[in-house]
Structure 1
Amino acid sequence: MTATPEIATGPAPKRAPEPEVDPEPRGKSERTTVFIFVTVPLIAVAAAVPFAWGWGLTWVDIAIGAVFYLVSGLGITVGFHRCFTHGSFRPNRGLRIALAVAGSLAIEGGVVSWVADHRRHHKYADVEGDPHSPWRFGDDWRSVAKGLAWAHYGYLFLTKERTSAKRFAPDLLRDRDIALVDRMFLPLVAFSLLAPAAIGGLVTMSWWGALTAFFWASLVRVGLLYHVTWSVNSICHTIGEENFEVRDRSRNVWWLAIPSFGESWHNLHHADPTCARHGVLKGQIDISARVIAVFEKLGWATKVRWPNKERLAAKRVSA
């Protein structure tokens, strides 16, 4: 008679954690593509002032650019950042898809990779493992200058590592709607760049109107939003005020608050990452938080994690 095999008892063995970077590094072609996407808008921004003084800028261009900046910028701050990365509120299905699409129009990467990078940043903020810390090379002024360039721009196309989405964003990979939007990133990039030109051409009924709208509302708008987003990575981890205790070097930079829609109140964000409002002190304008409040009133967002007074008081830095 065959003996009955013994059944193992005790806790099941733990699964090995997913690696934090994909085993396949980013190829040269991908890094070159990123370089082109971030460099061309920067050249457009550099040319913007003399171009405006000469000819080509109209109120149509400004209006189109402002709308696309607002939609794509809030898609990043309210959608990619506060909603998808940190779960600061729970959107309904329609709003969730709309925020993923809007954030993709900023051309800062697909929603899954963006969220994975940012979650990794929070895990290792300003220490080894942070993908874009300005303190990567040291504390002396030369190292900080080099680190600022790295955090602001360089890491995008110089690093070969690709943050593992399986490790840092498995919830988004399981979300069919978000995964679909992520796969549609390239068509959304094309729309973000070409739609302003089409609108400008139709409004002015001219090819010249299409060209100027493409320059201002596409290239300059994308380049400006890039710089604002990168400044949160670089400047807001280097200078500014520390109002709340944190384990990293995140700081508040007031003059970036409006163009970043409240993201530059970065010190509080690192002190309380899931909080839906970053500007919690008197006079700290946080446009993104106001937008979330509107979504809540409309019933499109629930379980909003608004600031807790006791929690904030416990983290407050004494004056």
Structure 2
Amino acid sequence: MATDTSAFNSAHLEPPTHTQQLAITAFGEAKTLALQTQPIPKMTSQQVLVAVNFAGVNPIDAKTRAGLGWAAQQNKDNLPWVPGYDIAGQVVAIGEQVTEFAIGDRVSGFIGFPLQGGGYSQYVVAEQQALSHVPDNVTLETAAALPLAGQTAWQALEKVKVKAGERVLILAGAGGVGHLAIQLATAKQAQVIATASQANLAFLTELGAHAVDYHQGALVDLIEPVDVLIDLMGSEVGIAALECVKAGGRVVTIPTITADLVCQRAEALGLSACGILVSPSVVQNNAMLERVALGQLQVEIAQSFPLSQGVQAHQQIESGRTRGKVLLAVSAP
């Protein structure tokens, strides 16, 4: 297999053979994350090598690290395992049959989901069809924050067929998925109500939502009934929010660990309910990158941590107090 390495040769550099990564060494607390160096896998003719500038940190990463969920169960015998599904960076080598990308292209993608992961790496081998071109006026930081969270929000709204004029309640509106779901629902001309802490109410209002402080009491006492619930919390919080939905209303719950329980309670109340497992879509990623480029979609980034501070990044995402997305600033040499 031939691989184009002209970007390295022109700069008198050898193509990279190894990559530094942040891996889950054992299931448990965030401190089980550790740096490691591994050989870069050989590319096929349809793959590209990406030097990663930023990688997204998502709640599923922390849950997997804690040993929870399907990805953890499937990888329990594969530790150390490298999490991470969102990446953005530059193409540094291409397979001989790659036609969509050239060396130097800025790209982002939703890769290795759900079992392969690998985003917490300086270099990632990816299928060309998994990547998007990043518009010139969109930063790689923003592009890395968008794929998983944006597509989760997009697909959740599609699942419950949100229509113009409907009242939509979004739990955890200030989070990575929530703040994008607000904007996508507002673009559909829905009336959006979103929950947050007092500190984030103004932020949600700026995004177009009617913001509700969940500390002020039971949601059912704070808002008028809604047509649709986008449950980004699950568990007892998601179950309590079902009382806010009109009879015959629709519910989509995102946290997979409690999805069955929330759906059972919803159906007992006469609601239509489902969970979703996000499916990577380059078409959706391209559409959202275009909206960002046009100023029609805002991506909030809470903090970017160096790869060496992955423990702190996971602690932040587990705090439940994150506005927008957490990233790892990988910055391949």
TM-score interval (norm. to shorter): under 0.3
Greater percentage in strand: 2
TM-score by length of 2: 0.22
Query: More helix by proportion, 1 or 2?
Result: 1
